[in-house]
Structure 1
Amino acid sequence: MNLTGFFKENPKIALGFSGGVDSSYLLYAAAQCGVDIKPYFIKTAFQPEFELEDARRFAKQVGVELTVISHEILSHEEVVKNPANRCYYCKTVLFGLLKERAVSDGYTVLIDGTNASDDVGDRPGMRALKEMQVRSPLRECGLTKMEIRCLSKEAGLFTWNKPAYACLATRIQTGTGIEAEMLKKVEHAEEELFQMGYTDFRVRVFHGAARLQFQPEDMMHAIEKRKEIRERLAPWFDTVLLDMKGREP
């Protein structure tokens, strides 16, 4: 099956939309096929503001109205405790909210942007989506991440080369409780690095310090700019460390 075939079988769908490469191409392809698709962006403390801005910009570009749902994810104890399977609890909450809203809006088929390159295995988040019968057209149609980027570039979508961006909760070590203040510190620190021109990196929290992870090609530049990086991140972190192992997923 290809996407056209999927949309023909499912002409009215709700999309869990993040504004990333995959869900953006999915929204574009559905709009091109004339599908009645309604994208929903769930804004929590785990999503930085730029992700919401990108989502709004993209929805406007393809001419589809975006619905934004705000939720206090830190009100859920099982999420705040940050266990190894935190993503299961988080996805269950968020897609549960999304599904409830979509059904009330008249949409019974819910999809997400999981692609054929994603390791669905025993990942907690994937298990939650499966339990809620969320479909993944890109994966079902065998479209890999690289193919989606190429198709997005051909279509002129500004998201085609957007780096993968996991939610802010992934910056906190598993087993360490998640606090809103720390998430904000990470968000501000990463925004400073974006402004310096870095695009694919992580600011992880390590015993209260900022542990910076860059791609190998950016490592030397970061070392050369260490003084500026330290000054920019000083308002949020007293200690800034450079992880010589580099960027992790």
Structure 2
Amino acid sequence: MSNTYPHGDFHGRLSPELIRLCSVLRDVRRALVAFSGGVDSSFLLRYTVDVLGRDSVLAVTVRTPLLPQGEAEGALELARSWGVQASSIQMDPLSEPSVARNTPDRCYLCKKLIFTRLSGMAKHKRIPWILDGTNADDGSGFRPGIKALDELGIRSPLREAGLTKDQIRSESERLGMPTWDRPSSPCLATRFPYGNPISLEAVARVDRGEKYLKSLGFGVVRVRVHGDVARVEVPADRIGDLVREGIREGIVAVFKEIGFRYITFDLQGFRSGSMDEVLQPVD
């Protein structure tokens, strides 16, 4: 993939879902794309620019302590390397007590705050539509944030087109996009049990812990927080690597330095949304 996106530069035959995506985007005409730099929003930005042209698209990245440190800078750098108009806004959702309380509707409240802010920005710039990277798979499971998007009239073209995560990764790889195999990196608030208030300090501990584990080669990792206990999730086939000689001792030392008293490894392995399991009935 080149550093610029010539308008309509599509290669090969488009699937029905991609044809629908192009149709949805043509209806938009001008758009503000909520851009995190992840797999979905990068793919959405690529297609939006290809369909509408760079002058009709603004990528906006939200800087928040609930995202891993450095991700916002990486997203902006990526967008600008493609010649896309890009800017950022700074927000701290935890300054809103209703979000910091971490009730099961936390994601709804946080999304409402963020996209209300983006809506004001779009209105000021006379941009008629805001687009986000929700895909067709995101309708399953517990996703209260989608309700906020729907209430605010935010469009999710990938979801509207019926594109799944696997399809998005596959097409991103075909296009040579550097994000095609990037692991999902959800909001750090998902590392805390519902009902346990979230602080900036606790979020920073999680971020430091996950960065250390990634430095050891664990590409997919979650540090779930239960008071002073860190519950580490990695894919089931990597659990054995956590207890290798020298690795386990290093993890313990670093996590205690960060501020955890106890460090545990989840034997079920990584699973997305494991904190939502308490919301499901037990068989």
Give the TM-score range, shorter chain.
Answer: over 0.9
The match for 2:26 is: 8
Alignment of 1:156-171 (within 5 A): 156-171=176-191
1:210 counterpart letter in structure 2? A
The match for 1:31 is: 49
* 1-structure distance, mates of 2:99, 2:190: 12
Over alpha carbons, which structure has the higher Rg? 2
* 2-structure distance, mates of 1:80, 1:45: 12
- Secondary structure of 1:2's partner? helix
1:20-69 deviation per Cα after TM superposition (whole angstroms, max 9, x unaligned): 10010000111222431111111112011232133123202321122111
The match for 1:103 is: 123
Alignment of 1:46-125 (within 5 A): 46-119=66-139, 123-125=143-145
Percentage identity across paired residues of the two chains: 34
Count of residue pairs brought into register by the alignment: 249
Tell me if the contact between 2:214 and 2:221 (Cα under 8 Å) persists in the aligned partners.
Answer: no
* 2-structure distance, mates of 1:55, 1:89: 24
Unmatched 5+ stretches in structure 2: 1-18, 273-283
Tell me if the contact between 1:201 and 1:212 (Cα under 8 Å) persists in the aligned partners.
Answer: yes
Structure 1 counterpart of 2:37, from 4, 13, 19: 19
Normalised by the size of structure 1, how large is the TM-score? Answer: 0.95
The match for 2:254 is: 232
Return 221-230 or 126-135, whichever deviates more.
Answer: 221-230
Tell me if the contact between 2:57 and 2:85 (Cα under 8 Å) persists in the aligned partners.
Answer: no
Q: CA RMSD in A?
A: 1.5
Unmatched 5+ stretches in structure 1: none
2:217 counterpart letter in structure 1? G
Shift of 1:2: 1.8
- Secondary structure of 2:70's partner? helix
Structure 1 counterpart of 2:155, from 110, 120, 135: 135
The match for 2:9 is: none
Tell me if the contact between 2:43 and 2:172 (Cα under 8 Å) persists in the aligned partners.
Answer: yes
Tell me if the contact between 1:31 and 1:62 (Cα under 8 Å) persists in the aligned partners.
Answer: no
